[in-house]
């Protein structure tokens, strides 16, 4: 069975030769760097669950490509049941980590590229789809983490890629040879890139015209390929992992990860190129990926939301206000918002359909509705948690003060809450709330809810396009007896 253990995953990362920079310095061993390691642990959870009998049905899936069970994060969806289990799995891992666990982008990219390469081959008789299947088998057999790379720097948003003063502000092909292509550019906001074995690159927008052909490129390369440079993104309170006690980190074991990935004339062999110049298919690839990824948010953000709800209920009890009717009402509202997001994730999965390539696509309208909810509801869930917690979660002294011989006893006296609740447990929970709503975990819960898988306007455009307003107009006109609308007979 091609399923890595956590230990095998960690060792495989240590064997790679990444060029990583953080705070102006090169990091030789990112896996064991104290700031980066919590994000590695989050990815490692996806490997741990595949070997856990309790979660195995969610965390693994049968692959017809290698005739084995593989990690679901490398799986090509074969049914609506696969789509549903994906959402359930993402919710589960969100509950267990409280952060972005970074493998969804690669899974969604694999499924999008699978479908689009088939469509390109149908039109042009190319060999992209078989190339991709060969690559997919390699990923599944070796249980690799794939970083899905889509977002370009973009420069002046009012200009097309070819109109930019610096042509590299959208990743592009700068050279073609008999052996392959050479690419240059960058990808921003790359979730889990330094924790990945492979990078799967896709265009970031719809493209058109001869002048934009260099930007219509999709390919995969090992994450430590020559010419790839990573700059690790800053996160709120990230240096607590370096300088402070674990108890001051809030969620010391887990974190998300974002990086700037720079491609300095990176060579890609033809067997790993899945699109090269087919501008009319760039939009399809972007749209398919976005639909899958907007579905993902109906699982992962809900799992983290479960943690916020649990934290709200716990801190209310620790503070002695859990019986207050307005506290109960706020927690009910948090649950309602969270389950509304999950409902859309489930619905767009259950109403999915088979693509011409044979894998399953979500209902794209409902996937966009799901993500539109995610751009709003987690913010209200976080606000309610902060409301219930009180102000102490952002004004609390450090753990070292608690353990200081002189002031520690005084803090133990004045930080007391409900009788029977340990002061240090109350402090730890407050730190978790800080982390979830303002700190490292909040990066993957709030800003990512807004901008990940496309900012709100991107979903509104798709909702308008997919909602078939003309059909809805006809429903109303028929009932009003306006125009030449057919009246259906009731008998």
Q: Which residues are tagged catalytic?
A: 100, 104, 191, 258, 293, 297, 300, 448
Neighbouring residues of 190: CB distance < 8 A, sequence distance ≥ 6:
147, 149, 151, 258, 259, 260, 261
Q: How many CB atoms neighbour CB 253 within 10 A?
A: 14
Half-sphere exposure of residue 443: CA atoms within 13 angstroms, side-chain side: 24
Measured distance CA(173)–CA(304) in Å, rounded: 39
80 has binding-site annotation? no
Measured distance CA(173)–CA(233) in Å, rounded: 26
Calculate the alpha carbon distances from 66 to 6, 140, 143, 274 in Å.
Answer: 22, 8, 12, 20
Backbone phi, psi, residue 17, to 5°? -115, 70
Measured distance CA(137)–CA(119) in Å, rounded: 20
Beta strands in 136-283 (DSSP E): 146-149, 172-176, 180-187, 198-201, 217-222, 228-232, 259-269, 273-276
Strands 20-22 and 228-232: parallel
167 alpha carbon, distance to own chain's centre = 28
Can you read off the two tokens belonging to residue 149? 């790379």
DSSP H helical ranges for 272-324: 282-319
Instruction: Report the DSSP beta bridge partners of residue 201.
Output: 149, 219
Q: What is the CA radius of gyration of the chain?
A: 24
Can you read off the two tokens belonging to residue 343? 């409902």
Measured distance CA(465)–CA(459) in Å, rounded: 10
Measured distance CA(127)–CA(207) in Å, rounded: 21
Instruction: Report the DSSP beta bridge partners of residue 270.
Output: none
Measured distance CA(303)–CA(60) in Å, rounded: 19
65 alpha carbon, distance to own chain's centre = 25
Are 40 and 10 contacting, i.e. CB atoms less than 8 angstroms apart?
A: yes
* Burial (CB count <10 Å: 0-12, 13-18, 19+), residue 119: buried
Half-sphere exposure of residue 320: CA atoms within 13 angstroms, side-chain side: 7
Q: How many CB atoms neighbour CB 48 within 10 A?
A: 16
Question: Closest by alpha carbon to 337, among 308, 380, 300, 388?
Answer: 380
Going by the annotation, the residues of the binding site are 191
Going by the annotation, the residues of the binding site for FAD are 191
């Amino acid at each position: 069975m091609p399923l890595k253990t956590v230990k095998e995953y960690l060792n495989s990362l240590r064997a790679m030769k990444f060029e990583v920079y953080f705070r102006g310095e090169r990091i030789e061993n990112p896996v064991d760097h104290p700031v980066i390691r919590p994000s590695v642990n989050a990815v490692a959870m996806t490997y741990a669950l595949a070997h856990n009998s309790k979660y195995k049905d969610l965390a693994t899936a049968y692959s017809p490509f290698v005739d084995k069970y593989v990690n679901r994060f490398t799986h090509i969806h074969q049914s609506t049941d696969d789509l549903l289990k994906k959402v359930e799995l993402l919710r589960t891992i969100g509950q267990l980590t409280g952060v972005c666990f970074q493998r969804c982008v690669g899974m969604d990219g694999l499924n999008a590229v699978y479908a689009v390469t088939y469509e390109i081959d149908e039109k042009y008789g190319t060999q992209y789809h078989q190339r991709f299947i060969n690559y997919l088998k390699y990923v599944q057999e070796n249980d690799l983490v794939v970083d899905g790379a889509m977002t370009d720097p973009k420069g002046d948003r009012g200009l097309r890629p070819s109109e930019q003063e610096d042509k590299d502000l959208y990743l592009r092909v700068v050279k073609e040879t008999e052996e392959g292509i050479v690419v240059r550019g960058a990808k921003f906001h790359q979730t889990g890139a330094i924790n990945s074995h492979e990078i799967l690159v896709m265009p970031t927008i719809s493209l058109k015209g001869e002048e934009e052909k260099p930007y219509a490129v999709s390919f995969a390369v090992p994450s430590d390929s020559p010419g790839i440079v990573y700059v690790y993104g800053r996160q709120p309170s990230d240096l607590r992992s370096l300088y402070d006690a674990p108890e001051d980190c809030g969620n010391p074991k887990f974190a998300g990860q974002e990086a700037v990935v720079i491609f300095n004339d990176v060579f890609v062999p033809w067997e790993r190129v899945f699109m090269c110049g087919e501008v009319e298919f760039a939009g399809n690839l972007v749209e398919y990926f976005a639909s899958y990824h907007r579905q993902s948010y109906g699982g992962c953000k809900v799992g983290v939301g479960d943690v916020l709800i649990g934290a709200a209920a716990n801190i209310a009890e620790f503070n002695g206000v859990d019986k207050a009717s307005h506290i109960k009402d706020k927690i009910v509202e948090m649950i309602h918002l969270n389950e509304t997001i999950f409902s859309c994730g489930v619905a767009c999965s259950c109403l999915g359909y088979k693509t011409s390539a044979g894998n399953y696509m979500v209902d794209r309208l409902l996937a966009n509705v799901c993500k539109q909810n995610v751009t709003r509801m987690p913010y209200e869930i976080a606000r309610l948690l902060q409301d219930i917690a009180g102000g102490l979660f952002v004004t609390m002294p450090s753990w070292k003060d608690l353990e200081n011989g002189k002031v520690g006893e005084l803090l133990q006296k004045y930080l007391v809450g409900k009788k029977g609740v340990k002061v240090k447990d109350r402090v730890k929970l407050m730190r978790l709330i800080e982390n979830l709503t303002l700190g490292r975990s909040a990066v993957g819960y709030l800003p990512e809810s807004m901008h990940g898988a496309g900012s709100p306007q991107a979903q509104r455009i798709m909702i308008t396009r997919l909602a078939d307003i003309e059909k809805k107009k006809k429903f109303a006109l028929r009932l009003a007896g306006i125009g030449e609308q057919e009246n259906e007979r009731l008998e």
